[in-house]
Structure 1
Amino acid sequence: MRTSFISKKPIPNGESIQGSDIRAGIFELILRDHPGFAVDSYISLFELNLYRRLYLTSLMEQERGELALLDQDVMKAIRENSVLSEKIEDGIEAKLTLGERMADRIATFGGSWTFIISFFSFLLGWIFVNAFILITRPFDPFPFILLNLILSCLAAIQAPIIMMSQNRQESKDRQRAEHDYKINLKAELEIKLLSEKIDHLLVHQNKKLLEIQEVQVDYLEDLLKKVKENSKE
């Protein structure tokens, strides 16, 4: 059983990685943290995956300069191997104030058929009462100045409430877009990590195949030697 150069602990069978099989950039990161690491040294697969994540972080910094806050969240999730695809609706709703909740509900009601039918019925009732029932002494005679005042006040109040709700919706959409961006970025980086692992497996498998072929060649050479000796006898 081989020993890890980094942790100085035994490496389980099948999880040892030799320095010569590690990509140059990742090898340099290991060498920076652990001087003396050589091509014939061994580390575990878990340790290699850790440095692969660190290598991706360094590549991101080189490509984009200083990482944004969203990128830092993604890098943290990759290093900790955590999940980003969580439900964000509950977190958004929990941060709303009482006024914002009321604005959302009023805007939802104001944009429904219930409000349209109810308000239209109220207008018809108001006009019918003042024009036909209370003909002699209407409380709001034609041209219904009091009704116009009520409608103006309603429009003046409703407009900022709807704008407040739209601002809340834009904030929700922005948080969803940022969340989707982090998930897509993490998926892209995880695919790169997966590609690195597949490349390593292919290289490791090719080495094993070469070793098997070399052993088979040795067997063939031994057989040829025996055949030649038997033919001489």
Structure 2
Amino acid sequence: MRRPAFPRPYQHEHGPVRNVNDVVKEQLTVGQKAADWIAAKVGSWEFIIGQSVILTIWALLNVTAWVQHWDPYPFILMNLVLSLQAAYTAPMIMMSQNRQASRDRLEAHNDYEINQTAETEIRAILDNLAAQNIAITEIHAMLENLQPSRID
């Protein structure tokens, strides 16, 4: 009797799956961390509410003259402070967004590699199942040949 040829067990030829978050965290510079922190703070309701409170107090103190007018109406100093704030935070937010875009590209590439690996492993499983089907068919045929013919 001839034994059916079974394929060799599938060998995993890929490295471990990388966590993109860990890879990105390892590559962050101090400037990138600062840009992410600023983008997170400036893009929050706490910042909007806090800034609104400060600007309201600023305007009230300068209009009502409870203290010395350091910035009388039309609040030119306040406009200067807000312009400086916008001039510095906008580029930092853009740096954070650019870094996020590069992180997204890294995630997409990692997903592509995982999909390729999964496709290879699924193909190996399907080949193994096909070989098992052939072996089962041959075993079934051998068992039928061993059985004496039935008389009805």
Give the TM-score normalised by structure 2. 0.85
Q: CA RMSD in A?
A: 2.4
Residue number in structure 2 paired with 1:39: none
- Does the 8 A contact of 1:100 with 1:164 survive in 2? yes
Residue number in structure 2 paired with 1:102: 34
Residue number in structure 1 paired with 2:56: 124
Give the AA of the match of 1:94.
E
Closer, same or farther in 2 for the Cα pair 1:168/1:17, shift >3 Å?
A: farther
Q: Deviations over 1:138-197 (max 9, x none)?
A: 221211111111111111111101101111211222222222222222222211111110
Give the TM-score normalised by structure 1. 0.57
Unaligned runs of 5+ in 2: none
In the alignment, the residues of structure 2 paired with residue 149 and residue 177 of structure 1 have an alpha-carbon distance, to the nearest angstrom, of 42
What is the correspondence of 1:38-187 to structure 2 with a 5 Å cutoff? 45-46=8-9, 49=10, 78-80=12-14, 82-84=15-17, 86-133=18-65, 138-187=69-118
- Does the 8 A contact of 1:131 with 1:141 survive in 2? yes
In the alignment, the residues of structure 2 paired with residue 17 and residue 125 of structure 1 have an alpha-carbon distance, to the nearest angstrom, of 87
- Does the 8 A contact of 1:92 with 1:172 survive in 2? yes
Q: Name which one, 1 or 2, has greater alpha-carbon Rg.
A: 1
Give the AA of the match of 2:102.
S
Q: Deviations over 1:127-148 (max 9, x none)?
A: 111111257x522121111111
Aligned length in residues:
149
Unaligned runs of 5+ in 1: 1-15, 22-43, 51-77, 225-233
